[in-house]
Structure 1
Amino acid sequence: MSGRGAVASRRRLATSARNLSFAALVAVLSGCASKPALLASYDDYAAYRATRVSRTFEGRLSAASAYLERHPRGAFAGEVRAYLTRAEPIYYAAKRRTAAGLTAYLATLPRGAFRDEATHRLRELVRERSAGDVLSRAAQETEAQLATQRADRARVGEEVTAWLRRFLDRGAWGRPLAEAPAEVIVPFSLALPPPRCAPADERAGPGAAVCAKRIPLWFVVTAEGESAPRQAEIEVAVLEDAAGRPIEVAIRGPALFTRLEEARSAREVAPDDATGRIGGIALAVELARSAFAARVSGDPSCGRQAVAPVVLHLECEGARLVARAGIEAGEDDVLTLTVTPPAR
């Protein structure tokens, strides 16, 4: 081709290029021209390109939806619509089972074919989750309440055991109570409520006094299918000589052994419930034996014959523990302790 012919050819190509869109020109120059590309505007092709090159599946779906919204009759509308028709049901099926998935679907395809179903389903899941949260909180509150009630009931037996062990310690005897070990004097004299002291019976000796500390313990049991409050009133009474040294300690309370059984079983023991009463006495005996074994001795030879209303008599190594069940109306159940003080 002559030089003049080549120039004319280039001019014709430039004229044609001005009549083509940017996308078509790219396609022509690359040798990959297609009919849609030749007919597409710059905006049309740019929107279409996003449906192909977005890095994520969600990005390509979102771009496809945006393309059809902006270019419903665009050069690539048929291809994009066919792609979205195939891909959207697959995407929705993968996302429909969770609130997070449905939220992602609606964010990706806010005008998608399944938007109404997705919105309805999302509301249901949120409502179910909210109801579940309410139920979960209610369950947690109920469990916390039950745990508190269990702890309150357990404290009745623990309190009796603790006082038995404190005063079965020889270090609490043979000296003024104010000089007793901290594990005795702190809970007895310093913890609320404080003890109250009054002159003792003359038979205890001149100047003797009784210092008594009352410990009310509230707990809940089941009575006829309903929750019912109970109170175990424990009194720790220390008979002291004129110098303030313990002579005898009594741990007592109205129907105390019955309250122990109610706290253990979490059920009401009626006044005429002989089985429940016997269970309470057995539990009191068990707690007393355990405390005596821990502080003094667990040797069977420590046991002494018990004659009703005494239900337990342990005595050895200078320590004596007697459990007596009240049998008359208004008579307390009592655990009585005396311990020979250590040699000074």
Structure 2
Amino acid sequence: MSSLLLSASSTTSFRASSAYTSSSSGRQLLYASSFKKKVTHVVVPIEAAKAKEQLAPKASNKKKQQSSSSKMAIDSGATTQTPDFLHVSNAVVSSQPFAFVVGFVGAIAIVKAHKRDKTNALRKTKAVLRYFDAKGAAEVIRTLFAAAECDYEDFRYKFNMVENKPTIEKQHPLDKERGLFKQNLDRLPILEHSGMSVGQSKTIERYVARDLGLYGKNMAESWRIDAFAEHVRDVKDAWAKVRGNPFAPPDDDQIAKKEKWYNEDMTKWCERLEKVIENGEEGFVVGDKVSLADVVLYVTMTQTFDDAARAEKARESCPKMNKVIENVENLPGIQTWLASRPENRF
């Protein structure tokens, strides 16, 4: 019986012992190894080991000579050597910090790929936006599609004005009866996309903005975009109280309220909004690219009020706001949209 002891380092030891033994089934070669006090025995029949060795192809003398020549060339430095700064030792590759860095980089790549797969779904599958043939609560959504140059179906329900009241075409009640509007409590707008329906105009705005990359680079930018959009909605709500019924001719009280709005109130609102525009010098409300906040401001300030000239004058003391509005209006997709969209009163 013979044995062999191998030592690795001062902290780790490895012992291998081999022995020949005879048994009724023939000679066998026994191996015993211990690692960290755990012992494992592996029994390999010598006949099987010899058979495997006999079946292995033997290299020809020519191949041996070639291999020997290559080895001599490498040992003598005849081949191009790897630069030191590119050389990574086996110790580094097998270290825990190296494995952590590789795993971390791989995880980031997977997350980014997953995010890309989750966005731009509106470009892959065409959406349908259902609303009346008017700007109203859908114009910000339409403008988001235009800013991103993303195709969609702009489905509009026509209506006629009869004695200052809108009369909607027959298709609208039929679609309502079919349940197409239920996700918005039988109201409009509705966005249909990938087999689902999305209700509430503000929810649709965020859905479209997030998918098309108009919702900020991170959560911090997203919540600031949301906050600014809500500030602008406060302005619209204040104007709605002044305007009254848009389908009825204004009375003397409404005329007086509108005068005060354009001369005083709107300017105050614009000056307050001006203070929270972060990057107005570059033409952006938040961050360094067009977002939902820019589009909401643009649509509200240019298409909401019944006197565009006076509305523009009310914000003449707000250079950052005007820069944002100009920046959005000059986008190629917006220019195309303004030239092609249907003309309507509301």
Q: Fold conserved (TM > 0.5)?
A: no
- Which structure has the larger Rg? 1
Q: Using structure 1 for the length normalisation, give the TM-score.
A: 0.29
